């Protein structure tokens, strides 16, 4: 693979950075150490400006090219880890109990640092590269929070590009799905407020477990009975908590879960149905049911032209045989979608030699791909901001 030579020769350095971040994972909005490492390295690399504290722990670096030009390209990496107990037995495994870089964001951060060093040294572009290290991708809304703190007002971008590693065993395979690519997501919490009673005298209460059980069945009917079969959506109940004794019917039961969708009408319909079903059951059993539904990620939409440009840049690094235009929708979500809603751009996946899926306690990232990811990110800046 014709990885940019100045980046290829730094594979040991990149691997060391990645493994250090891996050993010290931090959950969303708590990436204090990670953020400090990023700031320190960007400063040492001679990046023109380094701004911190955006979206709590986010960092933004700015590099101006040799050539003058008004255009600005953003590159984004995420920095947070997951609440998972690592089970890899690697020498650089997580040193923090119950927290693990199981989605490879340690690698994304490292690849963007690799691109930053190269871009700061070579500056073979006309305009400005904006390096966005964002916190809290895993469901906590780090992208939104950075934008809420004025990310694109303070550091305007004409285009933004992001990347995610894909442990599919095919090193260097780059894929993009142009257009609608990944699902938007809502999280919901429901509290059934029944009336507790002795388990032997249910007639004296209103059984929250029975009502919540019926509610789970009702919620699972929404996608199959209300969404047109030609449209996709997922509703999963992921949590059901109630009771703690053999002889007590608890007064409350709580349910939580997620909805994934690919268009706004479907999202609105599902939200309405969740509320209607809860209201109907509440009425039927003469109880209160509280519903809280929150949109957490937008639908990820890749700009068609910029998807092609990103693949063309990647082809220069991984070869034309290793790029793919995908037409598979992904029901997973990604909060870079929120940035892509504000600024046109594209998001690709980069295959590597790992074979255990992300979010698994045994997930292992393949460090050999670090220079490839860094080179693709650097190259898209040079191509989009050609001198
Ligand atoms: Zn993840
Ligand atoms: Zn991820």
Token duo for residue 115: 């691109």
Q: Encode pLDDT of 165-192 as tens digits.
A: 999 889 999 999 999 999 999 999 999 9
- For residue 105, how far is its CA from the centre of ligand 2 (angstroms)? 6
Phi, psi of 42 (to 5 degrees): -60, -40
- For residue 332, how far is its CA from the centre of ligand 1 (angstroms)? 9
What does the pLDDT read at residue 3? 84
What does the pLDDT read at residue 1? 55
pLDDT mean over 343-363: 97
Domains of the chain and any CATH numbers: 5-181+299-384 (3.40.630.10), 184-296 (3.30.70.360)
- For residue 279, how far is its CA from the centre of ligand 2 (angstroms)? 36
- d(CA 91, CA 158) in angstroms, rounded, equals 42
Q: Encode pLDDT of 64-114 as tens digits.
A: 999 999 999 999 999 999 999 999 999 999 999 999 999 999 999 999 999
- Give Cβ neighbours of residue 256 (< 8 Å, ≥ 6 apart): 187, 188, 189, 190, 237, 238, 239
pTM summary value: 0.92
Neighbours of ion ligand 1 (CB under 5 A): 103
Q: Encode pLDDT of 275-301 as tens digits.
A: 999 999 999 999 999 999 999 999 999
Name the residue with tokens 């969404």: 227
Beta strands 323-325 and 184-193: pairing type? Answer: unpaired
Which run of H or E residues covers position 189?
A: strand 184-193
- For residue 104, how far is its CA from the centre of ligand 2 (angstroms)? 6
Ligand at minimal distance from the CA of 77 is 2
């Amino acid at each position: 693979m014709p990885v940019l030579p100045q980046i290829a020769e730094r594979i040991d350095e990149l691997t060391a950075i990645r493994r250090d971040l891996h050993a010290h994972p931090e959950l969303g909005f708590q990436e204090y150490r990670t953020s400090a490492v990023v700031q320190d390295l960007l400063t040492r690399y001679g990046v023109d400006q380094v701004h911190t504290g955006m979206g709590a722990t986010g960092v933004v670096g700015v590099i101006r090219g040799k050539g003058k030009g008004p255009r600005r390209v953003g590159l984004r990496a995420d920095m947070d880890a997951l609440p998972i107990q690592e089970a890899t037995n690697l020498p650089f495994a997580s040193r923090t109990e119950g927290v693990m870089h199981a989605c490879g964001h340690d690698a994304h951060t490292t690849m963007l640092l690799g691109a930053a060093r190269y871009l700061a040294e070579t500056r073979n572009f006309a305009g400005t590269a904006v390096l966005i290290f964002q916190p809290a991708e895993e469901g906590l809304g780090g992208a939104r929070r950075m934008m809420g703190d004025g990310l694109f007002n303070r550091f305007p971008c004409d285009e933004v590009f992001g990347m995610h590693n894909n442990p599919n065993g095919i090193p260097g395979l780059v894929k993009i799905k142009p257009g609608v690519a990944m699902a938007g997501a809502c999280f919901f919490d429901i509290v059934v407020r029944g009336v507790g009673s002795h388990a032997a005298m249910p007639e004296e209460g209103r059984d929250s477990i029975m009502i919540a059980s019926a509610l789970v069945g009702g919620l699972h009917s929404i996608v199959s009975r209300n969404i047109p079969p030609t449209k996709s959506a997922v509703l999963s109940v992921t949590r059901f908590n109630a009771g703690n004794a053999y002889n007590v019917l608890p007064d409350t039961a709580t349910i939580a879960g997620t909805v994934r969708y690919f268009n706004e009408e479907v999202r609105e319909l599902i939200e309405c149905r969740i509320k209607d079903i809860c209201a109907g059951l509440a009425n039927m059993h003469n109880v209160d049911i509280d519903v809280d539904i929150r949109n957490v990620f937008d639908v990820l939409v890749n700009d068609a032209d910029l998807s092609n440009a990103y693949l063309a840049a990647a082809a220069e690094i991984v070869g034309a045989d290793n790029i793919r235009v995908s037409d598979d929708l992904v029901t997973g979500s990604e909060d870079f979608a929120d940035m892509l809603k504000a600024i046109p751009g594209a998001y690709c996946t980069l295959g590597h030699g790992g074979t255990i899926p992300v979010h698994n306690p045994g997930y292992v990232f393949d460090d050999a791909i670090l220079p490839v990811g860094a080179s693709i990110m650097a190259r898209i800046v040079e191509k989009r901001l050609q001198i």
